[in-house]
Amino acid sequence: MIIGKGAFEMNKMSWAMIALLPLLTGCNAPDASTPPAQDDSVVAEEAAPDAAGVLPTERAVADIKTADGKPAGNASATVDDGRVMLSLQVEGLPPGEHGVHVHMTGKCDAPKFESAGAHWNPANAQHGLEAPAGQHAGDMPNLVVDANGRGKLAYELKGATFAGLMDADSSAMVVHAAADDQKTDPSGNSGDRIACGIFKAGQAVGTPTG
């Protein structure tokens, strides 16, 4: 069979195109050495607040114990629009009114808890919600404990910052034996310290029920 010159040239070109095809397709293949782009949705999920809208770095919890080491509740400090909000829940404490304060040092050495230092007072103000030149950043209303030994209190710490609360030596939540008169320096005649907890970043170990 005789193949014309034109047909032979076309055949030659077809075989050349077939030979180049793998090279051409390889140029469009993704570069395996280039790492995949980071998924922004994953980063956003890791940095997202919890269900209460609070970032982990904006929460501190103190697990409160009595002088004999028994659990007595917890205090939780969170940040809301720049304000430090404190929520206190106690159990197993004597019924009645009790002075409660944030103290300046995160130490709770039983039985007297004197290691917690004085009230948290970065502005060097006078003690008490009723003091004309008050109040300490750690001052709070009295906690009312019911006949079952339970009590709750929520309050905005006036003049407080979360950075100050969680400084190098942290701070402590202290419950006193008697009511705070809210005007007498340095602690409102609120008596002995009967329970104490050190503020730490994170969640409470246990929350009173009921």
Sheet holding 193-201, edge to edge: 100-103, 172-176, 193-201, 59-66, 71-80, 83-90, 151-156
Report the pLDDT value the prediction gives residue 32, as an integer from 0 to 100.
47
Confidence (pTM): 0.70
Which residues make Cβ contacts (< 8 Å) with residue 144, sequence separation at least 6?
96, 97, 98, 151, 153
Which ranges of the chain have pLDDT less than 70? 1-57, 203-210
- Residue 92 and residue 103 in contact, taking contact as beta carbons nearer than 8 Å: no
How far is Cα 188 from Cα 179, in angstroms, rounded to an integer? 8
Percent of the chain residues topping a pLDDT of 90: 59
Could you say which DSSP state residue 47 is in? H
Domains of the chain: 57-201 (2.60.40.200)
Report the pLDDT value the prediction gives residue 58, as an integer from 0 to 100.
85
Give the pLDDT confidence of 156-204 residue by residue, as tens digits.
999 899 999 999 999 999 999 999 999 998 889 999 999 999 999 875 4
